[in-house]
Amino acid sequence: MIEARNGRRVVITGLGVVAPCGTGLTEFWAGLRRPAEPVIDRRILDFDPARWGIGHVEARRMDRFAQLGVAAAAQALTDAGLDGDERPYDEDRCGIVMGTGIGGAYAWESQCKILFEKGPARVSPLVVPSVMPNAAAAMVSMRYGWRGPVETVVTACASGTHAVSNGARLVASGRCDAVLVGGSESCQTGIMSNGFLNMKALSGSGISRPFDVNRDGFCSAEAGGLLVLEEASAAAARGAAVYAEVAGSASTADAYHITAPAPDGRGAIACMRAAMTDAGLSPDEITHVNAHGTSTQLNDATEAAAVAAVFGATRPAVTSIKGVTGHAFGAAGAIEAVALALSFRYGELPPTMGVEHVDPACDIDVVLEPRPWTPGPALSNSFAFGGHNGTVVLVPA
């Protein structure tokens, strides 16, 4: 990364994920390769907070989005070998950067109902810490005693990707030796779901089909995804297994519209180019793009045109896992970063599920079946309401 100090490199040593297609790395990876049932609201039906050490009383004090974040963090730290009593790093140099688009939607909506039906005296004093978007990061910090920078990014559907980017810069700059990064989201409440439905963003068929000529909107989802980032030489010294290196990242804005992407794709194009510059790579070196690919008409067309403009005839392989996972909003970029890291581990690109006929207007190489892949430089994109764009570059470690 251009902002690295004294050659400090950032590597991924742990992953954790809770998603509708599978909880835990094995189940999640298998789920990415299975067709999803047609469901508009994709939920984690078997999620049990107790499995992740969240007791009944504690669970009542945490909104569901925070519970998903804690569960993913527990997995990631175990995967990285950082969950034991022996700590290789000073906790003051361990940070957390998490993203969410909405925060405690269930707590907010349930307490609004209590206010209207039972009066102000019955509103829970716990609603404030339950609703606040930084609750997940704060709970993870308190659980594991990490006392470095603990921050929350709220940039709609780019939040998870921006969290990965910001956390990597904390390691590259020398401020931290290890950072938990990612995001969590659970906001399929009556108000939120009907808001998306009435703005005609949700799929009427319950099938997410990114880049398909018949795509009709996204399927909403809840999820949590966390990654452990460490300074490369320190990770090697403790014998940590490494998935990939975070070589660069970027963030831009369309400055165009609160929900629609800029039609010319200028923000997405600038973001991908800036991320590659940050990583010291050229477009012809990129072998894969993990796309934002929401299955909406405007987003997919704009992203496909931006990818074509940036990469031209080199045509890197393009996957959107939202065909399986649905769109997890602020957690989307986080679980997609987990999926990309697993692609490095397994040497395979997951398919873009739900696609039957790629839109001829989307002139990109959409991966339709699991594809063997020799790991090489790859991008993960997130493009959000508000015009927020985020791109992270991963390379083989």
Give pLDDT, residue 87. Answer: 86
Give pLDDT, residue 1. Answer: 73
Q: Residue 5 pLDDT > 90, yes or no?
A: no
Burial of 256-290, coded b for 16+ CB within 10 Å and e otherwise, reads: eeeeebbeebbbbbbbbbbbbebbebebeebbbbb
1-384 adopts what CATH topology?
A: Peroxisomal Thiolase; Chain A, domain 1 (3.40.47)
| 162 is known as an active-site residue | no
Residue with structure tokens 């009593």? Answer: 85
| 3-state secondary structure (DSSP) of residue 67 | helix
Give pLDDT, residue 4. Answer: 65
* Confidence at 7, pLDDT banded by 50, 70, 90: confident
pLDDT tens for 245-273 read 999 999 999 999 999 999 999 999 999 99
Q: Residue 363 pLDDT > 90, yes or no?
A: yes
Q: How far apart are CA 229 and CA 98, in angstroms?
A: 13
Spot the catalytic one: 94, 327, 362, 388.
327
User: What is the token pair recorded at 366?
Assistant: 């959409």
Spot the catalytic one: 157, 176, 187, 271.
157
Give pLDDT, residue 85. Answer: 80
| 327 is known as an active-site residue | yes
Spot the catalytic one: 162, 176, 271, 292.
292
Q: What are phi and psi of 339, to 5 degrees?
A: -60, -40
**All structural domains of the chain with their residue ranges:** 1-384
Q: Yes or no: say if 230 and 17 are a contact pair by the CB < 8 Å rule.
A: no
Give pLDDT, residue 86. Answer: 80
pLDDT tens for 197-225 read 999 999 999 999 999 999 999 999 999 99
What mean pLDDT comes out for the span 294-311?
A: 97
Give pLDDT, residue 122. Answer: 97
| 292 is known as an active-site residue | yes
Percent of the chain's residues with pLDDT above 90: 97
pLDDT tens for 269-282 read 999 999 999 999 99
Q: What are phi and psi of 331, to 5 degrees?
A: -95, -5
Can you say whether residue 81 is alpha, beta or left, with left for phi > 0 and alpha for psi between -120 and 50 degrees? Answer: left
What mean pLDDT comes out for the span 151-174?
A: 98
Give pLDDT, residue 244. Answer: 98
Q: Residue 3 pLDDT > 80, yes or no?
A: no
Q: Residue 2 pLDDT > 80, yes or no?
A: no
Specify the pTM. Answer: 0.97
Q: What is the mean pLDDT of the chain?
A: 96
